[in-house]
Copies of this chain bind each other. A is one copy, B any other.
Amino acid sequence: MNLSGEMLIGQNNVKGINQAIYAINPANNQTLDPAYLGGTQEHVNQACTLAWQAFDIYRNKSVEERAIFLETIAENIENIGDLLIQRAMDESGLTRARLEGERGRTCGQLRLFAKTIRAGEWLDIRVDEALPNRQPVPRFDLRQQHIALGPVAVFGASNFPLAFSVAGGDTASALAAGCPVVVKAHSAHPGTSELVGKAIQQAVKQCNLPEGVFSLLYGAGNIIGSTLVEHPYIKAVGFTGSRNGGTALMKIAQNRSEPIPVYAEMSSINPVVLLPSMLENNPDTLGQAFVHSLTQGAGQFCTNPGLVIAIKSPALDIFKKSATEAVQQSMSQTMLTPGIFQAFLKSVNTIEQQNKVSLLAKGLVSPDQNQCQTHLFSVDAIDFLNNELLQSEMFGSASIIIECKNMDEAKLVIEQLEGQLTATLHMDQNDMEDAQRLLAVLERKVGRILINSWPTGVEVCDAMVHGGPYPSTSDARTTSVGTAAIFRFLRPVCYQNFPDDLLPDAIKQSNPLKLSRLINGERE
């Protein structure tokens, strides 16, 4: 398959006419062909109109048809073969092993959503049967299911060119819910986007679905994205990226004549708390494990451990020494884009220049371009509490150790944190009381709490929450990873006093789809 540089508007492949995007190999700053000419507002309108035309048809397809569609996409992505991995490596600087793993996750989550919609829990079926003899008034038969919200705009993420991009978690959950998807490709990996986009486009055709179920647009700058979010046929937005980008989309969505939900996963520094007894007994191994998590994927994860909170002690000094040595030996890694590299430089320089912040260690640097050099800082809790800037995300392998006088001060630090995706406690049996005190605070601050593990590495499963209070995301009531992500693109509808043959299959009295239902208050 050759790359064409074309947008995919339904089954049409269309060249843009605006400013071209070129992928850049971040390891050597070389420009990669082809040119991806930017789309116009009219292209956005075409894609959204097709999506709207497809909506009623697609959402009324049987669950089985949608499940097969998701599985076909996965198969088509696998069938691209090594071309996809090679192009993604060139565009992202990520390693083969990482991208092969990410492809596995991408196809795995498409198949998991197929399984999820077949299981039917997502419909949240509720039935209250008629009570014709109830006094003083009878009760009508009332049945609830969930239906798709409408066409969804998805913005590809830079840091997961497969798993959170064109066919990533947002797209998979929206398609699973019955929503057509219009993707704005991330400008850092247009070729990867085209390859995956064509896999979806082909699956639409193979499954005889209306073409508007999927479109893929390109555009430099913000016009395509903002036009997409403003479009009246778009009913929800999925985004993973910067806080500036996410909050800009939230504003656009709120200023529409019909405001729509924006699911923006924005930034998080993921505090890791080392409780005293655990630290006392394992300072050296904790230091090494921490740096291992910190340096994974050049730290370009939403769940990167950007903050370590611990109480001053000889054990903490050993932890610092161990982490310092590990950082000093850490190899540099190519960052995703020159822009992300520049932002990383700027953010670590800003932190380094803050009063009372110590630079503990820097990692090695190779002569390649856009190299992320690991940075480890430390600061006294009191100075952290007095400087909001120290809560800024440094997107890359950089972290700050916050040294506290005692557990009360550690609790103060945690209480002052902004909303986060994750928080982690390292603890043993003797730390139980401290852990319990901190958990009450952490529950209010984060979407996922980990014990004795590391926040990088997000499992795709039913129980996962990859979300959290603002500003880690725009909407703490949801998750963007795992099967519960489907609820972002659904809303409930109640059917009152329907003749059975007019009811959707999911809520017919005979329960032909064999779904779990809440009937008259009891789980069936």
Contact = CB atoms under 8 A, between A and B. Distances in A.
Contacts of A464: 128, 142, 144, 494
A112 to B, nearest CB: 9
Q: How many copies does the complex hold?
A: 2
A462 B128 contact: yes
Contacts of A142: 459, 461, 463-464
Given A254-B254, A462-B520, 17 more contacts: A56-B444, A60-B440, A101-B136, A121-B518, A121-B523, A128-B461, A144-B464, A144-B465, A149-B477, A150-B444, A250-B259, A258-B469, A259-B470, A261-B475, A435-B502, A450-B496, A452-B497
Contact of A521 (B119, B490, B496): B119
Contacts of A477: 149, 261, 490-492
A447 B250 contact: no
A474 B491 CA distance: 13
A494 B521 contact: no
Contacts of A479: 492, 494
Interface string A499-524: 10110000000000000101011010
A484 B492 contact: yes
Nearest to A499: B451
Interface residues of A, number: 79
A172 interface: no
Nearest to A104: B136
A1 interface: no
A465 B490 contact: no
Contact of A143 (B439, B463, B471): B463
Of the listed residues A457, A470, A492, the one surrounded by the most CB atoms of chain B closer than 10 A to its CB is A492
B254 A459 contact: no
Contacts of A446: 493
A288 to B, nearest CB: 18
A147 interface: yes
A509 to B, nearest CB: 13
B126 A449 contact: no
Nearest to A55: B444
- The 3 closest A-B CB pairs, nearest first, are A465-B494, A142-B463, A144-B463
Nearest to A236: B477
Contacts of A449: 493-496, 498
Contacts of A497: 450-453
Nearest to A140: B453
Contacts of A133: none
A222 interface: no
A317 interface: no
A439 B259 contact: no
A94 interface: no
Most buried by B among A136, A469, A474: A469
Contacts of A471: 258
A502 B139 contact: no
A212 interface: no
Nearest to A467: B492
A99 to B, nearest CB: 14
A66 interface: no
A443 interface: yes
A166 B259 CA distance: 28
B447 A492 contact: yes
Interface string A453-488: 100010101111101011100111111000010000
A17 interface: no
A425 to B, nearest CB: 9
